[in-house]
Structure 1
């Protein structure tokens, strides 16, 4: 945690990095952790870097790059009697801007019962397969650009980086993000293959079915679900210290990564009035969406979305100022940037159930404490 003046406000590591029998590994700021959807911020930076380099265009139709994308059209219903979905055609372009702001019509299957039924009707598991195309060639859920749904747009965007540059997303990030920041030895999509990282890998743990301690080992949990591609929406493993270094660079708009105009695009709210309303309605549409995506921010606080993450459009009394940017990841990891207060931070843990409410509540209290320190209360 750091204040805009450069004063470190708080940093601490506690607990164990594994509950696996015979593996006594303390959790430290050099422990390598899966950050799941917090990967999206780094992929957004990579995409904007490619735009800055003239290799990608935010508003060009990317469908010609991906023959599999949207090939089923838009799912409109499912007949349980025949075990078949119904579809409407889609000819609307899909752009990187849509993919990075979740307005492309793609949605994770576990947020959409129709997509879950469609997968099951084909004998497939949600988000199954080894490649991005295997996992993401699913029906759209609305006409691109007309709504909001949380999905794997960043995974498609990561593949666009690979196509545009001719190298893997890992190699692109190594050259243009990790090495410039000096964190290349603490981050990878495949740390189990790195001699300097594999012994520092945290194991996933889980609470009981009722969400109660003690935590137990679930080190066999594969968050990549068999993927062999770099997953730009969920696949990075990184140490807390390295992610903090990256977060600090982005917050400070470090010139080693991008130019000022590129940072302005990264943080600029991307939703129009229609899609912004769709986003706020989406957060309130189910208990699952509220728990996983709203991050403890009440529905009375209007929200929008940028390439960086969710943006609050008003102050939250005692927690953050208007314009604060947030995002999080499945195993209870979270980051925030309060641009007005001048604070930013991240908290890591490696525990299931995903975004467990009591853990999220601790994150909220932590952010409140940070704001108090920053304001000298």
Structure 2
């Protein structure tokens, strides 16, 4: 153990327990695994941890994730009042109204904590609009390249925990984080997954393709290509298909992109495509967020989802659908498209699939380099443990109070 780490550890061991809340305030469960693994590590360091959720599904997912220490953690469920519920019926099509109302209507609860740990940026409203004096700790859910992950709102957080140097360097370049208020710790979600697992989901030996479109009305291939992709796989018998989009795509019918100023109505999937032996359609189950499909498939087909970075933990072919005619070369928001073939139409898909493994030798070194830049790893130590240590050390220094 180095001298700095030794001093760091001794300081942590001598501190009084701090009250730390883990806030999960979303419609779906996909953000939970990015911060929940840190909870047991904080408990092991003697900290007082409360889990705050806004849905039963989130709470259940947290409980599964932290089963070894669950009895030492308090759980609180937050909700909004009847007036906000009525407004949400209309407003949810345009803004995440329920999430915002949950923040505004539970400020008194949040005020009880020394810090809140969150996996999303909507919680910055607690500081920017709701005048809450609290230390906010942010761990991004995912390690992707989309520009929305590098917005000015990041500056409201007192401590930003990051999966690797790629994200850190881009945030530093944008002056979104500052020295003493960020740390590269790794990817806690990986701590919860058996990366050697290979689920068998089909009763044949065909190559399996994972189609994982995003939900963004501009960036996602679903809107202009998705149904054609499903139809093509339905007609052929050379490949299996897992259609597992970002869990938010089928959460609502109307999708609005504030960033790109676009609104689109999602189409329904015909029943005839849901009952095929070689096509599996999953629009939001636990398997969509726990890497089951990432570990089961042979070829990745996607667009803007950060899930591709989980995919390259085991380098395999990638194909990206450029449905919105992006000028992606040299653009950091499309850095992941350098890790595979990029095609502009579904008519190019059969050839791209046919040569995917033959061309993988071109892309494997890029995937390996991208993984190293995206995810910090230390043999014999978990990302969750490093994150917990950084949280306690930061709070002990009270750096967020420094002008």
Scaled by the length of structure 2, the TM-score of the pair is 0.28
- Identify, as 1 or 2, the structure richer in helix: 2
Computing the radius of gyration from Cα coordinates, the structure with the larger value is: 2
Scaled by the length of structure 1, the TM-score of the pair is 0.30
